[in-house]
Chain A
């Protein structure tokens, strides 16, 4: 596997605030949210990282701060190497990140997806609508507090909802993925669907 070995020193010289991020494969940096656009543009223009391969986010749960980390993966089609950049959203309640649509037009949909799934707003995005869920959907499904079974929600179309008296229902994972939690007493570690993770110590909520 080839990696861009010169990149870490080059980036830390140019941007002292960018710190190395633990990574198992390619060079990775933690960058403050305010500088991320400059770093991305520098990598694109001076280190030939021409492809924005992926843009996503991680939710570290509400106890952590910063709660949301946005992650960019760049690929260089001439050097054939990757670089990963991560930036924590400063505000946990109303996370905002600068938009990279100005650098890569393809960031448009990727940022819409992150907004849709995590509720992270991208400042300067031309058209920040939901993309996979419907407009007006009230939840952000990839946040950790959102249950796997889903939450009951109204149908997108009020007229159809009134006519059919139907709604989006939660689908409990009856017989669903059974996962044991490692490192606990064996009684608790019994494999259960995560939505039904009750045991003798944690009784089932009625």
Chain B
């Protein structure tokens, strides 16, 4: 319902009895696709009454690359690099979600060490993603310095990612049935050292905002998402939990060994921008808690499914010296990992929310259809409802608090 800002009291309007030419005129404003607070290429077509939003129509698709079409045309392992580019702030978490989805199709269990490395990298990706979200949210509402602190920590994480995978951003670390490689020697100790120094800095970053008067004014009671709305629009991740619904797939449907780790699921009370910010802050601490537990009891053994010969490529030294492994590798590269016919749907709790892969297979190495359920897409579908009745400057807070990524939304 459009709020009439000029006459808060309807009786006053009747009394004034304005001629129609003095009625406030609606203004149309296009925000984005290149706007600093739209975090990529989101465009929102507003209808404004003064400063008040009366209608918001998000226009998405500027980053559409047809990932689902591409997936139908290549083997399962060839698609791994494309998952990096979904939520490009947390590629390691996407790699893991995709690999588990395909493994569910193949009924393949990976060894404990592989599962632990995946959880470890996914939680590091969560910290990195939330640091980015926190810093960008700070900038959106005018707090520049938080961004600098956050990016310094993120940089340390990217150094660790680079050492592990060879790439800072586009990690492509998971393989179906295993990983690209084992962790390098001494790397686990570096992760531990990162955790030790990270927690005080995180507290400092959060302290810059949690009791900051300007930040509170811009976020408290702004963009309130009710529980009913959060469910009806299929929100997920911190945006859902900020509204007080404790749905976290890591707890509810543990995958990759999450049931072994102790962690809490923070939930908000009101569902406003501030609650979503607090949820992200606390989630980072819980992620560090998980990482610490893995580092403490890091499992040994194999880091890929050794018995899955038709799915995971044999080691390179064997390929170059042994005939059988060479043939095996050739078949894997040309025809892809062989999957049974059938369909599976797997969802993982990613930093931005629930990332799902629905794979329809007719057998062979190429999926017949792959649908990617992206959390940012569903989270943004609430915008037309959420923005109405807010000021344009509040929309900036709302966008910052939703923490979306257009690479994932548009696919």
Chain A residues within CB distance 8 Å of chain B: 1-2, 22-26, 28, 50-54, 56, 58-59, 71, 73, 75, 77, 80, 82, 84, 104-106, 108-110, 113, 117, 130-134, 141-142, 146, 148, 177-180, 182-183, 189, 191, 194
A59 surroundings in chain B (CB, below 8 A): 369
Measured in the bound complex, the distance between the Cα atoms of B245 and A109 in whole Å is 22
B344 surroundings in chain A (CB, below 8 A): 23-25
Establish whether residues A71 and B358, one from each chain, have CB atoms under 8 Å apart when the complex forms: yes
Say yes or no for B325: interface residue by CB 8 A criterion. Answer: no
B234's contact among A25, A80, A104, A134, by CB below 8 Å, is which? A104
The number of residue pairs between A and B whose CB atoms lie closer than 8 Å in the complex comes to 125
Establish whether residues A141 and B336, one from each chain, have CB atoms under 8 Å apart when the complex forms: no
A134 surroundings in chain B (CB, below 8 A): 61
B338 surroundings in chain A (CB, below 8 A): 182
Measured in the bound complex, the distance between the Cα atoms of B380 and A178 in whole Å is 35
What 12 additional pairs, Cβ within 8 angstroms, besides A53-B354, A109-B381, A189-B334? Answer: A22-B342, A53-B234, A54-B371, A77-B252, A82-B345, A84-B343, A106-B234, A110-B378, A148-B73, A177-B73, A179-B73, A182-B338
B66's contact among A26, A141, A189, by CB below 8 Å, is which? A141
Name the distance in Å between B26's Cβ and chain A's nearest Cβ: 19
Whether A24 touches B342, Cβ cut-off 8 Å, given contacts A106-B232, A134-B61, is: yes
Establish whether residues B335 and A180, one from each chain, have CB atoms under 8 Å apart when the complex forms: yes
**Which one, B135-143, B269-277, B359-367, is touching chain A?**
B359-367
Name the distance in Å between B321's Cβ and chain A's nearest Cβ: 24
Measured in the bound complex, the distance between the Cα atoms of B358 and A180 in whole Å is 23
Name the distance in Å between B41's Cβ and chain A's nearest Cβ: 12
Say yes or no for B104: interface residue by CB 8 A criterion. Answer: yes
A180 surroundings in chain B (CB, below 8 A): 334-335, 365
Establish whether residues A177 and B334, one from each chain, have CB atoms under 8 Å apart when the complex forms: no
Whether A53 touches B347, Cβ cut-off 8 Å, given contacts A1-B253, A148-B70, A191-B334, is: yes
Say yes or no for B156: interface residue by CB 8 A criterion. Answer: no
Measured in the bound complex, the distance between the Cα atoms of B104 and A71 in whole Å is 19
Say yes or no for B410: interface residue by CB 8 A criterion. Answer: yes
Measured in the bound complex, the distance between the Cα atoms of B360 and A128 in whole Å is 26
A28 surroundings in chain B (CB, below 8 A): 343
Residues 226-255 of B contacting A (Cβ, < 8 Å)? 229, 231-235, 245, 247, 252-253
Say yes or no for B68: interface residue by CB 8 A criterion. Answer: yes
A183 surroundings in chain B (CB, below 8 A): 364
Establish whether residues A24 and B105, one from each chain, have CB atoms under 8 Å apart when the complex forms: yes
Measured in the bound complex, the distance between the Cα atoms of B66 and A108 in whole Å is 20
**Nearest B residue (CB) for A56:** B371
**Nearest A residue (CB) for B356:** A54
B347 surroundings in chain A (CB, below 8 A): 53, 75
Establish whether residues A133 and B61, one from each chain, have CB atoms under 8 Å apart when the complex forms: yes
A-B contact pairs, 6 of them (CB 8 A): A23-B343, A54-B358, A71-B358, A177-B73, A179-B73, A194-B73
Establish whether residues B356 and A109, one from each chain, have CB atoms under 8 Å apart when the complex forms: no
Establish whether residues A51 and B231, one from each chain, have CB atoms under 8 Å apart when the complex forms: yes
Residues 352-411 of B contacting A (Cβ, < 8 Å)? 354, 356, 358, 360, 364-366, 368-369, 371, 373, 377-378, 380-382, 385, 410-411
B342 surroundings in chain A (CB, below 8 A): 22-24
A141 surroundings in chain B (CB, below 8 A): 66, 69
Establish whether residues A25 and B104, one from each chain, have CB atoms under 8 Å apart when the complex forms: yes
Name the distance in Å between B408's Cβ and chain A's nearest Cβ: 13
Establish whether residues B69 and A105, one from each chain, have CB atoms under 8 Å apart when the complex forms: no
